[in-house]
Amino acid sequence: IKAVLDEPLQAGRIKNMKTFCGRANPTTGALDWVEESEEYDYHQEIARSSYADMLHDKDRNEKYFLGIRAAVARVRARGQRAVVLDIGTGTGLLSMMAISAGADYCYAVEVFKPMAEAAQKIVQKNGFRDKIKIINKHSTEVTVGPEGDMQTRANILVTELFDTELIGEGALPSYEHAHKHLVQEGCEAVPHRATVYAQLVQSERLWSWARLLPMRVGNHELLPPPEVGLCAGAPAVCDIQLSQVPPSQFTPLSPLCTVFRVDFSQPVSSAPQWHSASFTALTTGRAQVVLSWWDIDMDPEGTITCTMAPSWTYPDSDTYPWRDHWMQCVYFLPAEVLLAEGEKVNLTVNRDDYSLWYSLRKHSQEGGDNELGVCIPRCTCQAHMVWTRPRFGELNDPHRTESYIQALRSVLRQDSVCLGVSDGSLLPALAHLLGARKVYSLESSTMSKQVIERVLEASALSGAVEVLESRPEQLTVSSVGGNQISVLFGEPYFSTSLLPWHSLYFWYCRTALAGLLHPDATVMPRSASLCMAAVEFKDLWRIRAPCGLCEGFDVSPMDEMIQRSLDFRESREAEPHPLWEYPCRALSQPREVMTFDFRLCVPEQPMKSQGSAALVRKGRCHGVALWMEYHLTDDITVSTGLTGLPSEQGTCEWSPHRKQGVYFFSSPWDSEGDGCDSVSYTLTFHPHSGDIAMEFTPTAAH
């Protein structure tokens, strides 16, 4: 800045300057200053995008193509020129479909500049440069007229502005503006309409993601604060692959209800609205959760439909079209409602311009039909801002809790002075209930500290655990009452962790606290192991697979852009994915590839591990799954990945509470599974950065 102010001629050098961004290192806890170019953010967005998934969604592409052909034919049958407006064109695929279907001209709008540039290359490569105009703007900024972006209003509106919740990407405001300013009255629209469905269910598993449940420890009970039970919860939708939640894990209390429709060929309003569906309760139960999805009709007659319904609604689940860019929604009611079989109930969906939320009212209850007074859920208890939904599920998992209770029982003594290091953890309360003399809990934020203190108060344990808000290196002997810590424990869980090994932050905390530990102090977990298995994914591989040709169009420039973005990140990295949602087969036996001993401080020098894993099952190897296992004691281990050994066929069961790491190979490869093929690995843990540099290489025997 000084150079520009003092010597304006040097301003031209600014374009070559780097940006230094301060980022909290999730593993070491340090604030790292990272040198990045101005292109870093959009390269990251491209590399992690779902464009490949969308381009591989054959069902979606075919339905759009059929709908566009039909719309162009209807316009042509009226003797009109077919002028198309494609909002959110992405790769330009739908615009090219329109021209191939006989449209005269297409205006393709894309606000994300790198994507607009890619679309321009794709359009040119396919020979549509004179028929498709790429407009790098938000659609609400597009102008019409002789000097505008569009010469005339369009009579066919093509869009793909939808997310899992349908309206979460701002579809309604975009449609509203388009009908007012960009398209003709009575235009054709592809898709023509959308229908949102909902089903009310009771599900202990899903409900455990929304509330802290009571926890019994011997003769004591750890209770959630009253305000948590009364809180409406987090406002954001819970979007998951609902196909992986089998019907055995929920009880339907209502039929599948149509809650609202949107006709995209007519003017659309983004103003708040409500829609209600009445039904008779199918059985007696506790109404807790709403399952929801939508479908889109590509034509007015509804003969071309693309549905987001989960696989278990299909007569033949093998015909289910997998996709990850659109999934299904889980909504949690503000509170449980007890329903009796045959009772008449209203399920109401409220929406604003970006989100949906549900409420339930029995016919016997007083109140009018207008539900707009039901405000969007907001967390008032702070717990939903401290704990994610998977974290609620983890805290409510009785089997996991029992493992920690057994481990704590084996290490605690009547004179134990304990320090718990994790974010929003209940282990310190458990340690007190199990007889520790003094327990301290180290929390990283004021909000987390307040939530834990409220849990202690609700369980009549105020003062039994002293909750400290401090960084580990700032803790002193006086902070812990002049005591030496005899038991240091953690889950470990930290809200900043994205990849499994980010929880090695516990090791850095243990190192920073070394001066407070008794010479014979117990550290729990005593160690952690990074584990791996070579895997074949049923569907997840699609998100990283090259597209090349898509419905007859060459979209390879998109593949090139994604690859450049991956190369820009300097090295291949593992990605976090909740593998319980993405079925896979283990082609190798799971194995520990690196172990970290928490009884010792973090070493000064890098740790290196090399080896190979033989492929013992036949299949197509797409990459490697990675997870951490925490050895609480000599005989108690908690896994954040596989919850047991793979089946004989290699089927895996994954922990739903944490994301696992996935390292995709640049190209999948086939193995006979005779143990001759293998995946070799080289791992290097760098203590100063907390990074694990990893390289996995397929090695074929022939």
Annotated catalytic, 117? no
SS3 percent helix, strand, coil of the chain, rounded to 5, is 25, 35, 40
Count the helices and strands in the chain (H runs, E runs): 16, 36
- Quick one: 136 exposed, middle or buried, by C-beta within 10 A (0-12, 13-18, 19+)? middle
Is position 169 annotated as part of the catalytic site?
yes
Looking at 336-482, list the stretches that DSSP marks H as alpha helix, in order from N- to C-terminal side.
Answer: 383-386, 389-395, 398-411, 427-433, 446-458
Instruction: Considering the candidates 36, 62, 169, 469, report the single residue annotated as catalytic.
Output: 169
SS3 of 388, please? coil
Residue 167 CA: distances (Å) to CA of 187, 194, 273, 353: 21, 10, 13, 7
Residue among 693, 686, 610, 624 at smallest CA distance from 661? 624
Retrieve residue 428's tokens: 């310190």
Asked if 664 and 622 count as a contact pair (C-beta separation under 8 A), the reply is yes
CA dist 203 → 120, 283, 433 (Å): 48, 14, 30
The pair phi, psi for residue 495, each rounded to 5°, is: -65, -20
Distance CA 667, CA 671 (A): 13
Write the CA distances from 165 to 89, 192, 312, 361, 693, integer angstroms: 20, 18, 20, 23, 37
User: Would you call the peptide bond into 191 cis, given omega within 30 degrees of 0 as the criterion?
Assistant: yes
Nearest to 93 by CA among 125, 48, 45: 125
Q: How far apart are CA 422 and CA 495, in angstroms?
A: 9
Instruction: Check if the beta carbon of residue 455 is closer than 8 Å to that of residue 222.
Output: yes
H-run or E-run covering 348: strand 344-351
Q: Decide if 50 contacts 325 (C-beta within 8 A).
A: yes
Q: Which of 596, 657, 640, 635 is nearest to 395 (CA)?
A: 657
Cα 455 to Cα 438: distance, rounded to the nearest angstrom: 18
Q: Which of 160, 188, 491, 581 is catalytic?
A: 160
Asked if residues 652 and 579 have their Cβ atoms less than 8 Å apart, the reply is: yes
The angle that helices 556-568 and 40-47 make with each other, rounded to 10 degrees, is 120
The answer to whether the beta carbons of residues 478 and 639 sit under 8 Å apart is: no
- Using the CB atoms, write b or e for 589-605: b if 16+ within 10 Å: ebeebbebebeeebeee
CA separation for the pair 568, 617 (Å, rounded): 35
* 444 CB-near residues (< 8 Å, 6+ apart): 423, 469, 471, 494, 495
Strands 485-489, 417-421: pairing kind: parallel
Question: What's the length of the chain?
Answer: 702
From 265, 407, 321, 364, select the one nearest 61 (Cα to Cα): 321
Evaluate whether 641 touches 627 at the Cβ level (below 8 Å).
yes
CA atoms of 162 and 581, how far apart (whole Å): 21
3-class DSSP assignment, residue 2: helix
DSSP string across 46-65: HHT-SHHHHHT-HHHHHHHH
How is residue 635 written in tokens?
A: 């005989």
Catalytic residues: 160, 169
